[in-house]
């Protein structure tokens, strides 16, 4: 240990920053100095930012897990970041309740169980979980809570993470009109919810589910359809000022195309596909408030781009009749069949490991958290 302590602390920090979360958790037990360093919020945030886009892992949800014996999991993380080796680690036993994952936000996933309106936070790298208090709301008369959306991010002003939970209520017949909406905000530090009064949210008819983790520089973004059938815009929410705004898209992907919003390499990326007359993909990138086109590529697939991966490859679902997830290189047009069962757009996640802690002081919940499948409930 003496030798280790002779290394200047700045050098030690640089070395530790290169390690994975799992190695750092082990290093925490080596000595008090390392323990203090690895727990330090500024180390945690530098470690998170020192990833680059190539460091992300693939997480998938497998909706067909009951009928595909080759892939008997609901959620799994793929270990090799280049996807040359397709071994994976199943995440199901880490989920304290059955539900749907959203995110990730700075490496944190959100687990939502709609029927009981229960929300958990999960850090799958550190295996921490946190049950959030119930977010109460009243469903207005003659409506149904038909849609919900999440966003989450860090507020540097209050040094706090905030989770925003949007709900839209339609009439009892379903999807036609948004009659009312409700916005709640959860503060990680306060461990409590509060309501925000936002009337204009009613104007946004449909928010694209797959864009729910497009958080960048203190702002959450969703791809939304404004006033049914009119146009797609980006709905943004500033985590510090708590203000919603609208951002225009560079094109209007409505005409026969589909689109996807996400954060790649610290920029907002918009992937669109449309017929022109061949099927054409475009990747737009927003830098300093302006959209620039990064790439266009034609391809004979009818399914749109699912998610950007790395090095100008995107995930595609396979064409008619086939069941696998494909990786398409937009430059060489090469396709790689990953053999992973077909998944929908919002079932593919790019994930950076993080040390961000979600455990609260004096939180014993983990001790009592018996995984749901032990009881075979629900
Ligand atoms: C992307 O390209 C870089 C540099 O060519 C390479 O090191 C990296 O492995 C590639 N990433 C993937 C996922 O193929
Ligand atoms: C909703 O309906 C209930 C039962 O019919 C009624 O008691 C309540 O006053 C109604 N609330 C509003 C806001 O109209
Ligand atoms: C946390 O609680 C403080 C004090 O009650 C309050 O001023 C602050 O707005 C709360 N933060 C959030 C994000 O709700
Ligand atoms: C990421 O952004 C930086 C800075 O704009 C740029 O230099 C770099 O080439 C980008 N990397 C990728 C993989 O797009
Ligand atoms: C991973 O981290 C890099 C660097 O901070 C960032 O550019 C990228 O968008 C992050 N990816 C995800 C999925 O959070």
CA of 272 to the centre of ligand 3 (A): 39
Ligand 4, atom 2, lies closest to the CA of 265
* Assigned domain for 37 exists: yes
3-state helix, strand, coil in the chain (%, to 5): 15, 45, 40
Reported as a single tens digit per residue, the pLDDT across 296-332 is 887 766 566 678 999 889 888 655 555 678 888 888 8
Q: What is the pLDDT of residues 100-114, one digit of tens each?
A: 999 999 999 999 998
Whole-number pLDDT of residue 220? 94
Q: Report how far residue 260's alpha carbon sits from residue 269's, in angstroms, rounded to the nearest whole number.
A: 8
Residue range 159-182: mean pLDDT, rounded = 82
* 11 belongs to a structural domain: yes
Q: Compute the half-sphere exposure of residue 46: CA atoms within 13 Å on the CB side of its CA.
A: 14
Tokens representing residue 352 in the block: 């950076």
What is the residue with the minimal CA distance to atom 4 of ligand 4?
265
- What is the rounded distance in angstroms from the CA atom of residue 261 to the CA atom of residue 246? 14
Q: Please name which ligand lies nearest the alpha carbon of 52.
A: 5
CB of residue 263 inside a 6 A radius of ligand 5 = yes
23 pLDDT above the threshold of 70: yes
Asked if 328 and 335 touch (Cβ cutoff 8 Å), the reply is: yes
Q: CB within 6 Å of ligand 4 — which residues?
A: 53, 265
Would you state the structure tokens that stand for residue 36, as one six-digit string? 């203090």
Beta bridge partners of 57: 351
Structure token digits, residue 164: 């925003």
- Asked whether the beta carbons of 272 and 258 are under 8 A apart, the reply is yes
| Structural domain contains residue 310 | no
Count the Cβ atoms, other than its own, within 10 Å of residue 293.
12
Look up the pTM and report it. Answer: 0.87
Q: Are strands 267-275 and 279-287 parallel, antiparallel or unpaired?
A: antiparallel
Mutual angle of helices 32-39 and 9-17, in 10-degree steps:
60
**Of 68-72, 288-292, 366-370, the least confident:** 366-370
The Å distance, Cα 311 to ligand 5 centre, comes to 14
> What are the two backbone dihedrals, phi and then psi, of residue 321, each rounded to the nearest 5 degrees?
80, -15
Percent of all residues in the chain with a pLDDT value above 70, rounded to a whole number: 84
What's the order of all strands across the beta sheet hosting 143-155?
A: 143-155, 160-171, 178-187, 192-196
Give the nearest ligand 1 atom to 81 CA.
13
- Is 43 among the domain residues? yes
Asked if the structure places residue 106 within a domain, the reply is no
Nearest Cα residue to atom 10 of ligand 1: 311
Q: For 342-373, write each residue's pLDDT tens digit.
A: 677 778 899 999 999 888 765 544 434 444 33
Does 307 sit in the ligand 5 pocket, CB within 6 Å? no
What would the pLDDT profile of 171-198 be if each residue is shown by its tens digit? Answer: 777 656 777 888 999 999 999 999 998 8
249-263 burial string, b = 16+ CB within 10 Å, else e? Answer: bebebbeebbbbbbb
Strands (E), 156-266: 160-171, 178-187, 192-196, 204-207, 214-216, 219-226, 231-238, 244-247, 258-264
Give the pLDDT mean for 277-291.
85
How far is ligand 2, taken at its centre, from the CA of residue 140, in Å?
Answer: 8
**191 domain residue, yes or no:** no
Comparison of pLDDT for 78 and 339, the residue scoring more = 78
| Sequential DSSP letters for 164-188 | EEEEEEEETT-SS-EEEEEEEEEET
Helix or strand run (H / E) with residue 47: helix 41-49
**How many CB atoms neighbour CB 45 within 10 A?**
16
Residue 71 has what pLDDT? Answer: 80
d(CA 298, CA 160): 43
Give residue-wise pLDDT tens across range 298-307. Answer: 776 656 667 8
* CA of 66 relative to ligand 1 center, distance in Å: 34
Q: Has residue 45 been placed in a domain? A: yes
Closest by Cα among 256, 304, 305, 247 to 276: 256
Tally of structural domains, the chain: 1
Please indicate whether residue 252 or residue 50 has the higher confidence score (pLDDT).
50
43 band by pLDDT with thresholds 50, 70 and 90: very high
Instruction: For residue 132, give the nearest of 148, 149, 110, 147 by alpha carbon.
Output: 110
How far apart are the C-alpha atoms of 78 and 339, rounded to whole Å?
Answer: 13
Q: What would the two tokens of residue 321 be?
A: 């009749």
- Does the residue 9 lie in any domain? yes
Domain containing 46 equals: 1-50
- Residue ID of nearest Cα to ligand 3 atom 3: 190
Ligand number, closest to the Cα atom of 285: 4
What is the structure's pLDDT at 375?
36
d(CA 244, CA 236): 5
Mean pLDDT, all residues of the chain:
83
pLDDT for the residue numbered 256: 46
């Amino acid at each position: 240990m003496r030798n280790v302590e002779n290394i200047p602390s700045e050098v030690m920090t640089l070395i530790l920053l290169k390690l994975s979360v799992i190695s750092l958790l082990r290093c925490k037990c080596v000595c008090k100095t390392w323990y203090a360093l690895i727990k330090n919020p500024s180390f945690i945030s530098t470690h998170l930012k020192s990833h680059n886009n190539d460091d992300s892992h693939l997480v998938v949800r497998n909706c067909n897990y009951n009928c595909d014996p080759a892939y008997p999991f609901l959620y799994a993380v793929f270990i090799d970041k280049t996807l040359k080796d397709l071994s994976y680690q199943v995440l199901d036993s880490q989920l304290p309740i059955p539900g749907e994952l959203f995110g990730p936000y700075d490496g944190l996933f959100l687990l939502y169980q709609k029927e009981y309106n229960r929300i958990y936070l999960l850090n799958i790298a550190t295996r921490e979980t946190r049950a959030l208090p119930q977010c109460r709301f009243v469903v207005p008369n003659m409506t149904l809570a038909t849609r919900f959306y999440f966003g989450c991010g860090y507020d540097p002003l209050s040094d706090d993470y905030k989770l925003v939970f949007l709900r839209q209520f339609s009439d009892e017949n379903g999807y036609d009109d948004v009659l009312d909406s409700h916005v709640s905000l959860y503060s990680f530090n306060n461990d409590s919810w509060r309501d925000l009064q936002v009337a204009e949210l009613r104007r946004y008819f449909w928010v694209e589910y797959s864009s729910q983790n497009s958080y960048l520089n203190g702002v959450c973004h969703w791809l939304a359809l404004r006033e049914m059938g009119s146009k797609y815009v980006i709905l943004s929410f500033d985590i510090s000022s708590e203000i919603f705004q609208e951002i225009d898209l560079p094109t209007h992907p409505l005409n026969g195309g589909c689109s996807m919003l996400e954060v790649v390499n610290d920029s907002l990326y918009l992937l669109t596909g449309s017929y022109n007359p061949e099927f054409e993909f475009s990747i737009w990138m927003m830098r300093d408030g302006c959209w620039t086109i990064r790439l266009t590529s034609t391809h004979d697939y009818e399914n749109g781009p699912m998610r950007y991966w790395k090095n100008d490859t995107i995930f595609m679902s396979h064409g008619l009749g086939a069941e696998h997830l494909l990786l398409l290189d937009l430059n060489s047009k090469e396709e790689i069949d990953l053999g992973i069962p077909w998944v929908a757009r919002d079932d593919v996640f790019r994930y950076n490991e993080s040390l961000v802690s979600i455990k609260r002081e004096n939180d014993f919940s983990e001790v009592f958290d018996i995984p749901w499948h032990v009881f075979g409930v629900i």
